[in-house]
Amino acid sequence: MISGAFSTFAVLRFGVGRFREAYVNSEDSDLVVGRWYVPLVKYLIPMEIVALIGWWFWAVILADPDGWWKPFHVESVGTCLFQWGTVLLVLIVLNRGIARKTLGEL
C-alpha cells in the first residue's frame, strides 16, 4: 500500500496526463489507454489508498485497543507510524545530498 501510495504521489507530482502520454501510451506500448486514466489515477486511486490504510488502522485499533498506539508493539498503528516517520525524516534530511549526487550540483 505504501509503495503504491508513493508511486501515485510521484505520478500526481509529474502530472497524470503527461505521465499517460510519455510512459503509458509510448511508442513501444501495444495498448493505448484512454482519457479515463487521468481521473482514475487523480481521484479514485488516492481515495482507495486512504480507505485501505484507514480500514487497516481501524481493524488494528479494534483488535488491540490498549496497545494500538505503542511504537514498539508488534503489528500496531504506532509502530507503522514510527517506522514511516523515521524513514521520511531520514529521506527528507538526505534529500538535497541525494539530489546533488544524482542530478549534479544544484
CB 88 within 8 A of CB 96: no
Nearest to 41 by CA among 95, 85, 84, 4: 4
Q: Give the mean pLDDT of the chain.
A: 93
Strands of the chain (E only): list them: none
pTM above 0.85?
A: no
What distance in Å separates the CA atoms of residue 97 and residue 104, rounded to the nearest whole number? 10
What distance in Å separates the CA atoms of residue 34 and residue 88, rounded to the nearest whole number? 34
CB 38 within 8 A of CB 15: no
Question: What tens digit of pLDDT does each residue of 4-23 get?
Answer: 999 999 999 999 999 999 99
Q: What parts of the chain have a pLDDT lower than 70?
A: 105-106
Q: Check residue 76 and give its pLDDT.
A: 93
